[in-house]
């Protein structure tokens, strides 16, 4: 499609209105209505996300969001969103956006590009065709907090997890997005209209950061952990005790398949193999 132009979106009214028209009313996420789209995209542009807009004859037909995650074991570009208007799918638009993203990764000395496809719409097949290789599956395990009500966690309460944790600490739990930087941004640099999401955090004596993310009406929540400690027993018990102190009934631990050993000895009352999995595009050998 020679008349498709990919450019780095700027925070303009025209971009926000155009992006909302890509999405259907029943799509998930804030991009389908103007105020939500404006709040999230303007915040992410401010925070250094690489946001693509694909146009054809001046009409916005696709939207992509990437972010560089510089973690202790690798520096990679993560693709958190790629949506093409259904009237323009199968015409090479997505491939052009992937190629542009890979070029951005190379420019920034990333070793990989990573994403987690939605298999419900056969996106996994699309990413394989673009050169991505299937990686690890991921799981969610729910653990009740009540058994740990008397466990005395020694945590200092924090307003937010410091940005330095991304590069300095291993990202252990919270793998729903497979990317330390992306999830840190969601919980620690929320746009002004994201008022119902709570994200309390604590710092343990061993330097572990534990953050919980949940909505005000929820009985449970997601947990994110950044740590270089291997004392997973204390980390998990401290998190469950912290959750209980906040009135949460259970915590949801998202982890990749080779990290299941971290939960050894804990009773999981509900375990789910999620549809998503890690897909990796290798830019160079590590």
In order along its 286 residues, the chain shows pLDDT tens digits of 566 777 655 556 678 999 999 998 888 889 999 999 999 999 999 999 999 998 888 889 999 999 999 999 999 999 999 999 999 988 899 999 999 999 999 999 999 999 998 776 688 899 999 999 999 999 999 999 999 999 999 999 999 999 999 999 999 999 878 899 999 999 999 998 888 889 999 999 999 999 999 988 777 899 999 999 999 999 999 999 999 999 999 999 999 999 999 999 999 889 998 877 899 999 965 4
Q: Is residue 130 part of a domain?
A: no
Instruction: Supply the range of the domain harboring residue 236.
Output: 138-276
Tokens of 84: 């093409």
11 & 65 share domain: yes
In a domain, residue 132? The reply is no
Task: Please state the domain count of the chain.
Answer: 2
Same domain for 33 and 111, yes or no, is yes
Q: Tokens standing for 68?
A: 């560089």
Q: Are residues 77 and 174 in the same domain?
A: no
Residue 232 sits in a domain whose CATH number is 3.40.630
- 188/84 same-domain check: no
Structure tokens at 9: 């979106």
Extract the tokens encoding 58: 């001046």
Do 170 and 265 lie in a common domain?
A: yes
Q: How many CB atoms lie within 10 A of CB 152?
A: 9
Instruction: Give the count of beta carbons closer than 10 Å to the beta carbon of residue 254.
Output: 22
Tokens standing for 135? Answer: 């990686």
């Amino acid at each position: 499609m020679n008349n498709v132009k990919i450019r780095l979106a700027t925070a303009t009214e025209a971009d926000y209105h155009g992006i909302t028209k890509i999405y259907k009313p029943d799509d998930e996420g804030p991009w389908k209505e103007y105020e939500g789209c404006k709040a999230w995209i303007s915040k992410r542009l401010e925070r250094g996300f690489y946001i693509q807009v694909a146009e054809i004859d001046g009409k916005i037909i696709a939207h992509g969001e990437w972010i560089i995650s510089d973690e202790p074991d690798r520096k990679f570009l993560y693709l958190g969103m790629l949506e093409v208007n259904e009237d323009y799918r199968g015409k090479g638009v997505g491939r052009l956006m992937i190629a542009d993203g890979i070029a951005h990764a190379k420019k920034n000395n990333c070793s990989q590009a990573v994403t987690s496809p939605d298999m419900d719409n056969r996106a996994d097949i699309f990413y394989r065709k673009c050169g991505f290789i299937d990686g690890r599956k991921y799981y969610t395990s729910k653990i009740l907090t009540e058994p740990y009500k008397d466990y005395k966690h020694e945590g200092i309460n924090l307003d937010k997890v410091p940005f330095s944790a991304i590069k300095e600490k291993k990202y252990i739990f919270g793998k729903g997005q497979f990317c330390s930087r992306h999830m840190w941004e969601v919980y620690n640099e929320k746009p002004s209209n994201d008022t119902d999401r709570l994200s309390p955090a604590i710092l343990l004596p061993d330097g572990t950061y534990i953050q919980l993310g949940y909505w005000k009406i929820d009985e449970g929540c997601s947990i994110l952990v950044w740590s270089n400690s291997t004392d997973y027993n204390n980390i998990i018990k401290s998190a469950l005790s912290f959750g209980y102190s906040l009135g949460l009934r259970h915590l949801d631990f998202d982890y990749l398949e080779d990290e299941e050993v971290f939960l050894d000895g804990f009773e999981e009352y509900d375990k789910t193999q999620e549809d998503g999995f890690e897909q990796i595009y290798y830019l160079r050998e590590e």
